Amino acid sequence: MSKGIVIKNGLSINIKGVADKELKKVPLPNKLALILDDFHLIMPKLLVKEGDTVKRGQPIFYSKSNENIKFVSPSHGKIEKIVRGERRKILEITISTDKNDSAIKHKIPALEKIKRENIIDILLESGCWPFIKQRPFDIIADPLQNPKSIFISCFDSAPLSVDFEFILKDQIESFKYGLKILEKITPGNLNIGVNRNQEFLNKELDDFNKNIFSGPHPSGNVGVQIHHIDPINIGESVWIIRPEDVCIIGNLFLEGEFIPTRTLAVSGPPINNPKYFRTVIGAKLQSILNLIDFKNGIQCRIINGDVLTGKTVEPDSYVGFYNNNISVLKEGNNYKLFGWIPFINNSVPSIYRSSFGWLNSSEPKEYDTNLNGEERAFVVTGEMEKVFPMDIYPMQLVKECMIGDIEKMERLGIYEVAPEDFALIDYASSSKIEAQTIVRNGLDYLIKETL
């Protein structure tokens, strides 16, 4: 096996509470929801009202900017509530499920005959389109666009993250079928990124155009993989899909139905025996949290997604549309007496060897959510580059995003990055810079000004 591409700059963070490879099926929860915050920049136009009965796969709303992009119900049930926030902005749409499981059926032509336009139409109609995101900008892809290639990263290198090899093992046929469908809609390559250690996937995916990666986080970030294989130039775009969503697309073309299976690694230091749970997209979090054995007396933060990029949610919220992780951390809202002195608080690890914590750095640690300091001006240089494996100057790019100088952002490579690529910079910054937020705002500003 070739060595593939070795990512050097980065950081693998070792946190206690990695999920055991044990899969537990969660019965269909009595309530689920679509959270609009998951669909960045999508302006919804509702197709249903409260009290309507919907089938699985029936459109609930579409995007105002492109009415072909539909968002469908993950289950049969009744629209219970359309939760609105300020200025009547829709926040979430909750659905109460019932025993009935009838679904919208789609007509699927045979694989040999099917054309690109057919596939895109079926994806749009079935509600699978939102699984396809685009770079640049990290938003739901435009179906009219001709991307130069499609990228799928089959491993997640973030701390406590999901092991895709484990959750794809029993879905490998639908995964491969999904890949075959996707091969037909890209004019260029379908690039699959696998880790060197994923023996099963390496073997199974031999027929596909796969690239082997190794190295610390963010080697599993699809943006890093694109940068090393086929970097995005100004005016180009690339489509990306998460692995389990490829299975959903595969199942759609195998069964003709929208089957929104979601396998989640529920992990984190405050959990006894963390493991995997299989449920549906939008499932009520409580239906999973009830099955978890929490350690006593810990104030927890529940995160939809991984600990670097996820969103904080209340326990009465719902599983996100894109995440394969529920992470749980201890809230670090405690004071530390003289905690800034080096060699005090050695339990808090650091990329600097400024505490004795590095002595046992290979051991998993109990991280909490404390900022370990206060926000300050940019002072220390070089720390961002240590965790950013692209030929891009991250600090300069972050600064230009703050200033909003479009020409400089473009020249510094803004089209190649997504907020998640800056997650480790959030982590590593000694000035506690919110780089992900800054880059997201920079990208949004770019969309507003240029599209």
Partner 1 sequence: MNLRGIVDKMKAPFDKGQKLEKLYPAFNAFETFLFVPNHTSKTGAHIRDGIDLKRVMITVIIALLPALFYGIYNTGYQYLYQTGEEFTVLDAVIHGSYKILPMIAVSYIVGLGIEFAFAVFRGHQVNEGYLVTGLLIPMIMPVDIPLWMVAISVAFAVLIGKEAFGGTGMNILNPALTARAFAFFAYPTYMSGNQVWVSEASNVDGVSGETILGMLAAGGSTDQFSMMDMFIGSIPGSIAETSTLMVLIGAFILIYTGVGSWRIMVGSVIGAALTGMLFNLWGANELMSFDWYNHIIVGGFAFGVVFMATDPVSAAQTLKGKWIYGVLVGVFCILIRVFNPAYPEGVMLAILLMNVFAPTIDHYVIDASIKRREKRLNSKLKMA
**Site for partner 1, residues 372 to 401, rule: CB under 8 A:** 372-382, 385, 391-393, 395-396
By beta-carbon proximity to partner 1, the closer residue of 15 and 247 is 15
Binding mask 417-446 for partner 1 (x = CB under 8 A): ------xx-xxxxxxx-xxxx---------
SS3 185: helix
Q: Looking at 79-87, 101-109, 200-208, 364-372, which segment touches partner 1 (CB under 8 A)? A: 364-372
Rounded Cα distance, 37 and 98, in Å: 26
Q: What angle do CA 433, 438, 443 make, to 5 degrees?
A: 160
By beta-carbon proximity to partner 1, the closer residue of 214 and 354 is 354
By beta-carbon proximity to partner 1, the closer residue of 197 and 299 is 299
| Of 227, 121, 240, nearest in space to 190 by CA | 240
- Asked if 403 touches partner 1 (CB under 8 A), the answer is no
Q: How far is CA 373 from CA 118, 256, 344, 428, 442, in A?
A: 54, 53, 14, 12, 25
We find the least distance from the C-beta atom of residue 404 to partner 1, in angstroms, to be 18
Site for partner 1 in 143-162 (CB under 8 A): 159
Q: Looking at 169-177, 237-245, 270-278, 408-416, which segment touches partner 1 (CB under 8 A)? A: 408-416
Q: Looking at 68-76, 245-253, 317-325, 367-375, which segment touches partner 1 (CB under 8 A)? A: 367-375
Site for partner 1 in 5-34 (CB under 8 A): 13, 15
By beta-carbon proximity to partner 1, the closer residue of 93 and 300 is 300
Rounded Cα distance, 67 and 56, in Å: 20
Q: How far is CA 383 from CA 220, 269, 303, 347, 355, in A?
A: 20, 27, 26, 21, 17
Site for partner 1 in 53-112 (CB under 8 A): none
We find the least distance from the C-beta atom of residue 303 to partner 1, in angstroms, to be 6
By beta-carbon proximity to partner 1, the closer residue of 110 and 377 is 377
Give the one residue of 12, 197, 333, 360 binding partner 1; rule: CB under 8 A: 333
Give the one residue of 143, 216, 256, 349 binding partner 1; rule: CB under 8 A: 349
| Of 327, 287, 311, 446, nearest in space to 38 by CA | 311
Rounded Cα distance, 355 and 338, in Å: 13
| Of 367, 347, 422, nearest in space to 14 by CA | 367
Rounded Cα distance, 306 and 308, in Å: 6
Which tokens go with 232? Answer: 């995005």
Give the one residue of 250, 357, 389, 442 binding partner 1; rule: CB under 8 A: 357
Site for partner 1 in 158-187 (CB under 8 A): 159
By beta-carbon proximity to partner 1, the closer residue of 243 and 357 is 357
- Asked if 233 touches partner 1 (CB under 8 A), the answer is yes
Amino acid (one-letter) located at 261? T
Which tokens go with 324? Answer: 């394969």
Binding mask 298-327 for partner 1 (x = CB under 8 A): ---x-x---xxxx-x--------------x
By beta-carbon proximity to partner 1, the closer residue of 255 and 385 is 385
- Asked if 340 touches partner 1 (CB under 8 A), the answer is yes
We find the least distance from the C-beta atom of residue 189 to partner 1, in angstroms, to be 15
- Residues with Cβ within 8 Å of 126's Cβ and at least 6 positions away in sequence, in order, are 57, 72, 104, 106, 252, 258
By beta-carbon proximity to partner 1, the closer residue of 245 and 400 is 400
| Of 288, 203, 193, nearest in space to 243 by CA | 193
Give the one residue of 85, 109, 339, 404 binding partner 1; rule: CB under 8 A: 339
Which tokens go with 39? Answer: 């669909």
The backbone torsions φ and ψ at residue 430, rounded to the nearest 5 degrees and listed phi first, read -75, -15
